[in-house]
Each structure stands twice: as C-alpha cells, then as structure tokens.
Amino acid sequence: MFKNLEFSINLYSEGEKFFDILKAFIRDSRKSQWPHERERVMFARELFRKALDTFEGGIKAAETKAEEGFHTEQDLKLIKEMRARCDYWKKKFEEVAVD
C-alpha cells in the first residue's frame, strides 16, 4: 500500500552530502535533553550506520569482482577512492556517535 513512499540515496554520487548532513545533525543535536530530539539523534546514528554498512558492502562487492579479474585500471582507481571515502566517513561516525 505504501510502497511508493520509499526513496533511495546513491552513496557514490550523493554520499558526501548525505553523510555530512547526518554528521552535522548528530554533532549539533546530541547534547539536547529533550526526549524527542534524543530520539532523532538515535535515528540519525542508525541511519548513518546503515548507510556505512551499505557503502562497505558495495565496495566489497566491487573489490571481489576486481579480484576475479573483471576490472580496468579506472575501476581499481574508483575502488581505491571509494574505500578512502568510506574509511573517512567511518572515522567521522566514530567521532560523532559517542555521547
């Protein structure tokens, strides 16, 4: 019935903005004592974590495909860049996810 309410974010093309928005929201809101704002921070953390898991899964799938011989030099370069981005955002998540 509500299937049309879903949407997705391409973490390759829009991930930087998406993660940055979540990071800023968590950082700026986590000290609030209001229960509804604490719930929003918890939701943002979980969304950030799920997006990182998805990002990591996509990179691992690309790495596996490359290891099997299905790659070009450009593919290897993109995988390396995506791995660096993912590692950067994992670090930022760890910084903002602490109370």
Residues 65-80 have pLDDT tens digits of: 988 887 888 989 999 9
pTM above 0.85, yes or no: yes
Residue 2 has phi, psi (to 5 degrees) of -105, 25
Buried b or exposed e, range 67-95, using 16+ CB within 10 angstroms? eeeebeeeeeebbeebbebbeebbebbee
**What pLDDT, on the 0 to 100 scale, is given for residue 98?**
78
**What pLDDT, on the 0 to 100 scale, is given for residue 1?**
63
Residues 28-77 have pLDDT tens digits of: 887 888 888 889 999 999 999 999 999 999 999 999 998 888 788 898 99
